[in-house]
Chains A and B, each alone.
Chain A
């Protein structure tokens, strides 16, 4: 089998990982589960390939809105095409990209021909990345990710409630 890459979308930016220690643990979900909890073991299974931080709060919101709808943005496309091996026309790529959501996977494949999958095994690896995220990304301090989630959560949710949240008028029916 070819190489397995993993895409992880976070509030701070896009991360691309490679599941390099995969042969050692095997394609067994139970084995991955056991290796996920311990960073020493997981760090040998999954390594960071590239990280692309969002440029601004507005950029983060645009990316989050698209990811939520299962859509690939131009920024995500650029990030994947630069960071992953080239997909040559007429040749079967020797790698796969594991993603959280089959919907974004099919959109990525349609546009770029990057082969995507979203099986139980990929999802286990993504759980591990989510658990150890701030230790896998260099320069990310503890608490930085939560700060990014807080800002993004507010801007995402304010748009969803549609009203002016600054107007305090508790309606009583």
Chain B
């Protein structure tokens, strides 16, 4: 438990259930991550500095669930994000890198985030952000073509996917076949009307889950991103789950 004083308000920062994630308890509770680059904000987010009992200072960055689907999923009560300090993460659809910067904080100096973004416009912000965070490897490429960036990526523990494309299940599967460890995990954000704007959101989520099951994925949980995003769900699961060895008859 750490306490900080800013603007006369006493703020207490507590560890969240998910390792590497924190909650700042002030007038209103806020999700945050421990800033890997103290003194620097990435997208004008609020920073909170707190003092340890031994006098050293730690800085946190507030993580806005309206700007980050992963933060929305955490506040939505997702059971496991499969990312923690030291994790290797492949992030598809990195955009300008706002969420990537929090994942970078979360996995810390011993983790790695391979951040893939196709648009050069967002990619420029991503590259600039990565210049200050040495655990982020920026990759400006099409997530549909992992062969093009196979020299830049190692095996990862988890893939986070936020590509908002009709064939996103296929894109995730293709990347997993190159880079995701057997027994690794995936976290995918699904925007219903990006896939089929005529069906109900629930029907779209169900059909996407089926597609994932056909690709060696084992979906384990699904959370809605309401009230932060409309008609979005986040599905979390495992990849190439090893078959349990048969128990010897006793």
User: In whole angstroms, how far apart are the Cα atoms of A163 and B128 in the complex?
Assistant: 11
User: In whole angstroms, how far apart are the Cα atoms of A131 and B183 in the complex?
Assistant: 13
State the Cβ distance, A4 to closest chain B Cβ, in Å: 19
State the Cβ distance, A10 to closest chain B Cβ, in Å: 6
The answer to whether B154 and A165 touch across the interface, beta carbons within 8 angstroms, is no
**Which applies to chain B's interface (DSSP): helix, strand, loop or mixed?**
mixed
Shortest Cβ distance from A36 into B: residue: B182
State the Cβ distance, A126 to closest chain B Cβ, in Å: 8
Binds B, one of A19-27, A43-51, A82-90, A150-158: A150-158
State the Cβ distance, A98 to closest chain B Cβ, in Å: 14
The answer to whether A149 and B137 touch across the interface, beta carbons within 8 angstroms, is yes
The answer to whether A154 and B151 touch across the interface, beta carbons within 8 angstroms, is no
Does A119 lie at the interface of the complex (its beta carbon under 8 Å from any beta carbon of B)?
no
The answer to whether A161 and B127 touch across the interface, beta carbons within 8 angstroms, is yes
User: In whole angstroms, how far apart are the Cα atoms of A137 and B148 in the complex?
Assistant: 23
The answer to whether B154 and A154 touch across the interface, beta carbons within 8 angstroms, is no
Cβ 8 A contact of A156, one of B147, B152, B155: B152
Residues of chain B within 8 A (CB-CB) of A162 are 120
Residues of chain B within 8 A (CB-CB) of A152 are 151-152
Known contacts A154-B138, A157-B127, A160-B123; decide if A101 and B147 are in contact (CB<8 Å). Answer: yes
State the Cβ distance, B33 to closest chain A Cβ, in Å: 21
Shortest Cβ distance from A68 into B: residue: B148
Does B64 lie at the interface of the complex (its beta carbon under 8 Å from any beta carbon of A)?
no
The answer to whether B240 and A64 touch across the interface, beta carbons within 8 angstroms, is no
Does B112 lie at the interface of the complex (its beta carbon under 8 Å from any beta carbon of A)?
yes
**Which applies to chain A's interface (DSSP): helix, strand, loop or mixed?**
helix
Does A94 lie at the interface of the complex (its beta carbon under 8 Å from any beta carbon of B)?
no
Complex interface bits, A21-35 against B, C-beta within 8 A gives 1, otherwise 0:
000000000000100
The answer to whether B182 and A146 touch across the interface, beta carbons within 8 angstroms, is no
The answer to whether B150 and A100 touch across the interface, beta carbons within 8 angstroms, is yes
Does A133 lie at the interface of the complex (its beta carbon under 8 Å from any beta carbon of B)?
yes
The answer to whether A33 and B240 touch across the interface, beta carbons within 8 angstroms, is yes
User: In whole angstroms, how far apart are the Cα atoms of A149 and B149 in the complex?
Assistant: 10
Residues of chain A within 8 A (CB-CB) of B148 are 68-69
The answer to whether A133 and B154 touch across the interface, beta carbons within 8 angstroms, is yes
State the Cβ distance, B69 to closest chain A Cβ, in Å: 22
Known contacts A161-B123, A168-B128; decide if A130 and B179 are in contact (CB<8 Å). Answer: yes
Known contacts A101-B147, A130-B179, A150-B137; decide if A161 and B152 are in contact (CB<8 Å). Answer: no
Does A136 lie at the interface of the complex (its beta carbon under 8 Å from any beta carbon of B)?
no
Shortest Cβ distance from B115 into A: residue: A153
Residues of chain A within 8 A (CB-CB) of B177 are 123, 127
Q: List 21 A-B contacts (CB under 8 A).
A: A10-B151, A36-B182, A37-B181, A64-B152, A67-B151, A68-B148, A100-B150, A100-B178, A131-B155, A145-B154, A146-B137, A150-B134, A152-B152, A153-B130, A153-B139, A154-B138, A156-B139, A157-B123, A157-B139, A163-B124, A165-B131
The 10 closest A-B pairs by CB, nearest first: A160-B140, A153-B137, A157-B140, A101-B147, A68-B148, A157-B138, A161-B124, A131-B155, A161-B120, A161-B123
- Which chain B residues have a beta carbon within 8 Å of chain A's beta carbons? 112, 114, 120, 123-128, 130-131, 134, 137-141, 147-155, 177-179, 181-183, 240, 242
Q: A68-B151, A100-B147, A162-B120 are in contact. List 6 more A-B contacts (CB 8 A).
A: A33-B182, A68-B141, A70-B147, A152-B151, A156-B139, A161-B140
